[in-house]
Amino acid sequence: MSKKILLGAICTVLFCGTSATVFAQDNAPSGAASSLLNSADPRAAGMGMATTAVNDNPFGIFGNAASNLLSEKRMGFGYSYNPVMPDYNKGVATHAVGGYFSLDENNGFSLGFRYFNGPKSIIAGDDAVAGDSFRPNDMAVSIGYTRRIVDNFTMSLTARYIRSDYTKFGSDYYKAGNAFTFDLGFYYENTIESFYGSTWAVGLNVSNVGTKLDISVPSNPIAMPAYAKLGGSIDMPFSENHKLLAALDLGYTFMPSTDASFTAGLGLEYNFLKHGFLRAGYHYGDEKSIGGSYATVGLGAAVGPVRVDASYWIAGKESPVKNTWAVGLSLFF
């Protein structure tokens, strides 16, 4: 006797927002793998999600892998933790590990791993055991190569393996699905000597272009959440102990085509006494974007090779990202 799913929900966490999808046995969960939109970067989260033209970033492979070859540090690694919709779901979170390594002035590699642990969902039906439950999950493993094209211009190519698992819904309707996608990134920076020796940068990243994800029975492949982001930044060192970084991102999600949306992020970071960081930003999302519009704040502290970052979302009481937060630990060498 076939199962009837009475309740199934997948909530996909993003640093640029959160979506929730409730689905029945004859529909694939359209939110599957939307966690790939997550920049996984608590520093960028505190700056309105503006990350495309910002370097010195262990999580750069999730935003723009091309940026880190021109970083001050040769390598960096980080871990971040982001609870999802904490007002509504307990134990739902995205875990991310990222890193970059410059082989020399012209070549570098980036690595990334993201794991989304979904909300506990109850399965009920004629052949189900009372109280049966499961947690859907998304996993993505990324590796990127960055190459300097000319002095201040780099490009990157990132390959990504994605796996979404909903099999606990029952083999009659769902299966674990796999997909492969690619990112293409560009980054350019230069110096304005007449303006405090400031550094300005522009970046472009096209992400998650590749195969579809098939997790339903009968087959109903889902397009990956592919998007393009154009960003700019200016880093202004007013003195040896005080710097201000301003960043802007413009984004367009073009796949699935039915969910096409526009986003923008504007953020500031004030670095004082070389060890402290204060951040603020605003993220705009149109009516089709995941998470909508909200403000963010963040702070950080750096001691030696260690940097700790935290961020918090300020959103309306009806927003799915209300009271969302993220923390991260990074090491630079």
Average pLDDT of span 322-332: 94
Report the pLDDT value the prediction gives residue 205, as an integer from 0 to 100: 97
Kindly report which listed range (16-25, 149-158, 217-226) carries the lowest average pLDDT score. 16-25
Whether 192 is covered by a domain: the verdict is yes
pTM: 0.86
Whether 115 is covered by a domain: the verdict is yes
| Tokens of residue 48, six digits | 């309105």
**pLDDT class for 3, splitting at 50, 70, 90?**
very low
Report how far Cα 323 is from the mean position of its chain's Cα atoms: 18
The residue type found at 86 is: P
Query: Does the pLDDT of residue 24 top 80, yes or no?
Result: no
245 lies in which domain range?
A: 9-332
Look at 54 and 131; give whichever has higher pLDDT. 54
Report the pLDDT value the prediction gives residue 36, as an integer from 0 to 100: 58
Rounded CA separation 20/320 (Å): 8
Report the pLDDT value the prediction gives residue 12, as an integer from 0 to 100: 37
* pLDDT tens figures, 187-217: 999 998 878 789 999 999 999 999 998 877 7
Percent of all residues in the chain with a pLDDT value above 70, rounded to a whole number: 82
Whether 296 is covered by a domain: the verdict is yes
**pLDDT class for 27, splitting at 50, 70, 90?**
very low
Report the pLDDT value the prediction gives residue 63, as an integer from 0 to 100: 92
Report the pLDDT value the prediction gives residue 2, as an integer from 0 to 100: 35
Look at 105 and 6; give whichever has higher pLDDT. 105
Domain of residue 171, CATH code? 2.40.160.60
Three-class HEC string of the chain = CCCCCCCCEEEEEECCEEEEEECCCCCCCCCCCHHHHCCCCHHHHCCCCCCCCCCCCCCHHHCCHHHHHHCCCCEEEEEEEEECCCCCCCCCEEEEEEEEEECCCCEEEEEEEEEEECCCEECCCCCCCCCCEECCEEEEEEEEEEEEEECCEEEEEEEEEEEEECHHHCCCCECCEEEEEEEEEEEEEEEECCCCCEEEEEEEEEEEEECCECCECCCCCECCCCEEEEEEEEEEEEECCEEEEEEEEEEEECCCHHHCEEEEEEEEEEEECCCEEEEEEEEEECCCCCCCCEEEEEEEEEECCEEEEEEEEECCCCCCCCCCEEEEEEEEC
Number of structural domains the chain divides into: 1
- Spatial CA neighbour of 34 closest among 291, 219, 250, 311: 291
The residue type found at 252 is: Y
For the stretch 88-95, contacts whose Cβ atoms lie closer than 8 Å and that sit 24 or more positions apart, written own/partner, are: 88/320, 89/11, 89/119, 91/117, 91/119, 91/120, 91/135, 92/11, 92/13, 92/117, 92/118, 92/119, 93/13, 93/117, 94/13, 94/35, 94/38, 94/40
**pLDDT class for 40, splitting at 50, 70, 90?**
confident
Query: Does the pLDDT of residue 127 top 90, yes or no?
Result: no
Report the pLDDT value the prediction gives residue 169, as an integer from 0 to 100: 55
Average pLDDT of span 93-107: 95
pLDDT averaged over every residue in the chain = 84
Percent of all residues in the chain with a pLDDT value above 90, rounded to a whole number: 59
Query: Does the pLDDT of residue 129 top 70, yes or no?
Result: no
**pLDDT class for 10, splitting at 50, 70, 90?**
very low
